[in-house]
Amino acid sequence: MREKPTEFDRTGTGSSKWARAGAGAIAMGLADMDLPGPAAIGAALAARAAHPAYGYTVADPGGRELVARWYRRRHGVAVDPEWVLLLPFGPSTALRLLLAAAAPRLRGRAAAGVVPEWGGFARVCAAAGVPFRTAALVREGDGLRLPLEALAASRPGAVLLSSPHNPTGRLWSAAEVRALAELAAAEDGLLVSDEVHGDLVHPDHGLRQPVAVALAGAAAGHTVTLGSVGKTFNTSGVPSCWALVPDAALRGRLLEVMAGYGLWEGGLLEQTVQRAALTGGEEWLDALLPRLAAARDRVLAALGPAVPTRPQASYLLWLDGTALGLPPGRARAAALTERDVELADGADFGGPAPGFLRLNYALPPARLDMALRRLTRT
């Protein structure tokens, strides 16, 4: 008889992740958590909903300083509040608009990134008409490093980076991020560092997320950092993000591009969620991080060598499905139909070899153990 998960039921919530998995399968594909978020966010939404007017809103007057204080407190870096743009849409939209705003700087040149990598970069570049060139990550012991030489050789107009890395959950070194910022500056281009998982560094590593704009130094004018409460506090269904843009001219161009699409800073629900998360979610986050590290360890113990690199942040890992007996050409389909587990297809990340998958382990322990039993059965 098929086991049935009972904890934290999302039935009736319109969850994309569970709709995609289908009846009977455990959803581990999309990047959101099957864990309850901070009570402060629900309370703030309820309080705002109690007011019967939902008209146009201005950007939160204290929102920029709120983000800057978060970086000082959580990351130990100074962010000028003037750099902060409060955006009522997700990071993918922010990247698309940034590419449009930076078009004079790009001068028709390609963007560069790595593989495997979050597939949104390739999709957004295609939509923007910007060629996207990639170089494979370099294996180093049980970890990975950025292919700095190959990226530099492509002389890109933009460098696009997920940091921490999606799909492996690895942290890049400060030296690597600084080198990318300097590469962008040398080419009069732009480094865009997508750091939406940056608040989810596992506490047992003793490391800090390298915030790109804080490391860039003289290259800061060629660097943009994207951040969000969405992944950290499981609020991606209310899309929002912020952009740290030290270059005042680029900030102005981005606001002009946004206005052309009828978009403005702020947002009613977006700002309600963001303020509640940054002011009332920290204790919840501190409790979450060891929980994610414990879930990671459960997965590593169960799947062993099928996980080629140990995650250091977030709740995602890169999985070699062939090491679990899944067929290389149809690993995702076989995991879904034969083992009742829905995972993300590695091909969507430009995986270097067939059979790789991305797994999201932010599940209640009983459900996670059930998924691991299913994945390891033959």
The domain spans of the chain are 16-38+282-376, 63-280
- The predicted model gives 80-99 an average pLDDT of 98
CB distance 171 to 207 below 8 Å? yes
Report the distance separating Cα 132 and Cα 146, nearest Å: 17
From the list 50, 19, 372, 32, the residue with the least C-alpha distance to 200 is 32
Report the distance separating Cα 255 and Cα 97, nearest Å: 9
The residue written with tokens 């309080």 in the block is 47
CATH superfamily entry for domain 16-38+282-376: Aspartate Aminotransferase, domain 1 (3.90.1150.10)
pLDDT score recorded for residue 3: 44
pTM above threshold 0.85: yes
In the predicted structure, residue 351 carries a pLDDT above the cut 80: no
From the list 222, 236, 249, the residue with the least C-alpha distance to 362 is 236
Query: Exposed, middle or buried, 168 (CB in 10 Å: 0-12/13-18/19+)?
Result: buried
Bridge partners of 227, per DSSP, are 242
pLDDT score recorded for residue 207: 83
Report the distance separating Cα 213 and Cα 223, nearest Å: 6
Q: Domain 63-280 carries which CATH code?
A: 3.40.640.10
CB distance 146 to 176 below 8 Å? yes
In the predicted structure, residue 206 carries a pLDDT above the cut 90: no
Bridge partners of 178, per DSSP, are none
CA distances from 132 to 37, 117, 138 (A): 36, 12, 19
Classified as helix, coil or strand, 186 is helix
State the pLDDT confidence band at 155, using cuts at 50, 70 and 90.
Answer: very high
Terminal Cα-to-Cα distance of the chain (whole angstroms): 16
Which one has a higher pLDDT value, 8 or 223? Answer: 223
Residues 265-308 pLDDT 10s: 999 999 999 999 999 999 999 999 999 999 999 999 999 999 99
Bridge partners of 138, per DSSP, are 145
From the list 37, 81, 374, the residue with the least C-alpha distance to 231 is 37
Tokens of 193: 């560092």
In the predicted structure, residue 118 carries a pLDDT above the cut 50: yes
Q: Which helix (H) or strand (E) holds 285?
A: helix 282-303
- Cα pseudo-dihedral 115, 118, 119, 125, rounded to 10: -90
From the list 168, 169, 151, the residue with the least C-alpha distance to 160 is 151
Bridge partners of 111, per DSSP, are 132, 158
CB distance 293 to 202 below 8 Å? yes
Query: Which residue type occupies 286?
Result: D
From the list 53, 63, 119, the residue with the least C-alpha distance to 88 is 63
Q: For all residues of the chain together, what is the average pLDDT?
A: 95
